[in-house]
Structure 1
């Protein structure tokens, strides 16, 4: 086996491991030829290596060089008595029992020497994982499983380090992450996501705008601390980044998603309280759920509440918007495909969303948009619990709970032949209907209070609430966009407001655009204004000096005060 044939893979392994462990690495073939190494190793020790050292490792399997340049195997080496390394661990790489090379972990500092010496067993174990990973890359039959092996190896190393890591490619797509990071970012669902869909644009811009390791303070849901970014560079340039999350607020991470997601359904309405009771009852059932309701009523929040209060809460939750995936790609995205299944198919194929969510939950939003030919395959999965990738005849058994949602009338779609009747009944095992906001207006005040408190920090505001006239306008509005529209309206009003409470003039114009309502509100506003002016004049006096002082207190000109009095 010639290790040069997998040199790109070896470069990737070394780049990742150097970032994770802060050590230097080199890989040699059985002829003691350097195949791949870190830049620091190459600069300090060069291309050639002492053959006797490599032969010793090939013979013994593992060698610790605690005093480089002074060991027996160092006799004859050009670095004898003057080696730049402070410590080295070397491990033999084998394929089918036969040596094919050597991997070396090296430090050139006394700190690194002490760290390896104090944790020798741990670093030997890490080097053993690298050896196994290299041999697996070299194996002809491992091509399809290599990404999974790399992921498992990195997962293990990350778990051992006790840190929260994420690896992204140069386009921002997520390649690997650990369980801690998945819990940390549970609000956004990491599967099939990219960096730009998780963090604000300015954060993504900072990542991609730096070609050197850097750090940035960040505060978002459940996290407060430093984020460290390290570019992964190869001879082709930056290929990706390793992100490390160093939390300062440990308590924020201890909050359980299972407790918080059901609490996110904020209500005192009897109908919605009953929905919460149903969710609590059926959360751990494997039965399919169909959530209906108008756009903006919180169907995805309800789906997350079901998942995160269930016994699947530590498994994947993958939301899929059926309307956003082109019909021609939907089947391959949902069920996956094999290599060569169609023009442009990835080498080694690709697992579908259902495979990625095994033992977890898939949330199919806007299920009414599901292409008709994909409905039959989804029905088969719901019936038999198996799928077939495109281009394959092999059944893949899966354990995935399906939660579907729609704002359409599926029974009407069935009568028009656009939705399969048998699929409808498979999905509609547990029906949940979310009432529109106009039918639960008693929730508007508590929702407003919740959004104001939540957005004060985000918008750097200190609003205490909403005044009576503005609240009355909100209560009289029909809310066609439901809770989502209410949240957006509060955010708009808070951006516009300059006082301590949201008032009528800060609300979006559409909320009081109705002529009758607007006239009534303006009348009330006028009465409120006159009451304020009269109170100020009663205090300051109705003479000229009192009027001048009143105008100053109210922040208006004397002419405006006279106009108001008239």
Structure 2
């Protein structure tokens, strides 16, 4: 008989579990899913990244098996496993492998955390790392248990966590009810809509896609948001979470992008003191006040927008707009209207008031064009005209508008190859590449990883609203020795993940790192603590104290409370000292 009384225990933490699951999937490079004891999807990625809060409508034999037996289940050859026999979806099943672990609390099964492969490559990753992934997911399940126990006595935990998560998001978010009426909006959304929270609460808001076929397309699309009698054209997409609809606005909203640059101290966000970064900072200082175009070249995730911001903040334009747009993230037809704007009636579905393009909006300031190599040849020609004539022609207009902007662009592409294959205009390249800046990959920045770790720990603990956890020398050494193929972005994502899962009051240790760090060889060994042979070591004393408390107290939670540590830390130390049978 399945436990039908614990749905709310996981649902109280749904936003946190969702965010955690997405990060877990990213670091393991395999899709993940979490369901509760009623087979309701709490979180998921890939094909399972929607319909949260809904009961699974397909055959759930493997989940039922785990929930009933409280045992993990691994399937590395789908369709031939005995549990797959009789499955109504066997013929159309896309899953190639599965690893599921129960979430157990006080002999009750709250749900299942699973890794799911949909490709042969992912199947091989699970097959080759079954024990490694299994041990890691079991540890994660205990962290989920500890978070459930922390929230058990908070009646309004869901609302608090849900609202806090949305408020700390950088992109605009509107929360809608079943009738698509707006119930709540965070500050970035209010900024995009040019409204106060009070006004939003009093205004009837309606959101409709610009074209009906947009409902069938994935990703960001243009929507018309009616605010009483006023209408705004906003780029965003709908998500379902916690019985609500969320409208997530794209980062490249014109209104959210047109922001007066803050007067930041020199290089406060350009973290790094290695030789290459010091040389880069010197170069930025020299060229910041120049009106010439800058082209930043570097691998994906190296922080090209951070450098562009630094150039802007050190320039004479720092009190004027800094507008950033990712050319690779926006469909070509939308990118043209975003950059150049349009006049009233320029095309079917155009806003009745027209739209100011980002080039014009960046007047007197800086326009940052990320992934410029993905821009179409047609738009390249129009951008070249802007650079040569210093004026922009909105779509549907016959009158050019003068603009005074500095363009900073960035790419990880090889322009020599693109020019040779006629995928990029040579004349535009020379216009953009007046001042070239090369951003080194993180693996070549000796000594900077630790500085960045400290920086991101501070940033993410403030954003999430938790205490600064610190990090052990062993974990720091392991992170310092990693090759970081995803560069600074990968490091930032990992630190955010670790800040989410580290038990409160504990340090980030090596056992919290994703499994692929087990194969990382430290650059230098951490010197062991030398104990007097005649005295008992601290670890031996700790082991005896934990063993004695477990033998005396029947409840693990009481043991943790007596020892003054979190429940997840207790489970970790039980595993460390081999006390699992006590």
Give TM-score scaled by structure 1 length: 0.51
Match of 1:239 in 2: 227
| Residue 287 in structure 1 maps to residue 292 in structure 2 | yes
SS at match of 2:279: helix
SS at match of 2:325: strand
Match of 2:257 in 1: none
Highest RCO, 1 vs 2 (Cα 8 Å, sep ≥ 6): 2
Match of 1:472 in 2: 477
Query: Residues 295 and 344 (structure 1 numbering): CA distance in 2 closer, same or farther, change over 3 Å?
Result: same
| Offset at residue 263 of structure 1 (A) | 1.4
Query: Residues 535 and 433 (structure 1 numbering): CA distance in 2 closer, same or farther, change over 3 Å?
Result: farther
Query: Residues 329 and 448 (structure 1 numbering): CA distance in 2 closer, same or farther, change over 3 Å?
Result: closer
Give TM-score scaled by structure 2 length: 0.50
Count, aligned residues: 337
SS at match of 1:259: coil
Match of 2:182 in 1: 208
| 8 Å CA contact retained: 2:469, 2:502 | no
Matched residues in 2 for 1:285 and 1:547: separation? 64
Query: Residues 210 and 267 (structure 1 numbering): CA distance in 2 closer, same or farther, change over 3 Å?
Result: closer
Match of 1:328 in 2: 333
Query: Residues 371 and 451 (structure 1 numbering): CA distance in 2 closer, same or farther, change over 3 Å?
Result: same
In our comparison, the structure showing a higher alpha carbon Rg is 1
- Which residues of 2 match residues 275-424 of structure 1 at below 5 A? 275-424=280-429
Matched residues in 2 for 1:340 and 1:539: separation? 76
- Structure 2 stretches lacking a partner, 5+ long: 1-165, 189-195, 207-225, 231-259, 550-562, 564-569
Match of 1:537 in 2: 536
| Residue 488 in structure 1 maps to residue 493 in structure 2 | yes
Matched residues in 2 for 1:496 and 1:532: separation? 32
| Offset at residue 297 of structure 1 (A) | 0.9
| Offset at residue 541 of structure 1 (A) | 9.5
Equivalent position to 1:267, from 272, 285, 296: 272
Query: Residues 316 and 502 (structure 1 numbering): CA distance in 2 closer, same or farther, change over 3 Å?
Result: same
Matched residues in 2 for 1:268 and 1:383: separation? 38
Please, what is the CA RMSD of the aligned residues?
4.4
Equivalent position to 2:467, from 458, 462, 465: 462
Query: Residues 208 and 349 (structure 1 numbering): CA distance in 2 closer, same or farther, change over 3 Å?
Result: closer
Query: Residues 441 and 510 (structure 1 numbering): CA distance in 2 closer, same or farther, change over 3 Å?
Result: farther
* Per-residue CA distance 1:196-239 (angstroms, 9 max, x = gap): 9745758899x93169xxxx9x99xxxxxxx8523375799982
| 8 Å CA contact retained: 1:318, 1:353 | yes
| Offset at residue 549 of structure 1 (A) | 4.3
| Residue 506 in structure 1 maps to residue 524 in structure 2 | no
Matched residues in 1 for 2:395 and 2:274: separation? 46
| Residue 425 in structure 1 maps to residue 430 in structure 2 | yes
Equivalent position to 2:198, from 204, 229, 243: 229
| Offset at residue 559 of structure 1 (A) | 12
Which aligned segments of 4 or more residues in structure 1 are displaced greater than 6 angstroms?
194-197, 202-205, 234-238, 531-536, 539-542, 553-560
Matched residues in 1 for 2:440 and 2:576: separation? 48
| Offset at residue 392 of structure 1 (A) | 2.8
Query: Which is helix-richer, 1 or 2?
Result: 1
- Structure 1 stretches lacking a partner, 5+ long: 1-193, 220-226, 243-254
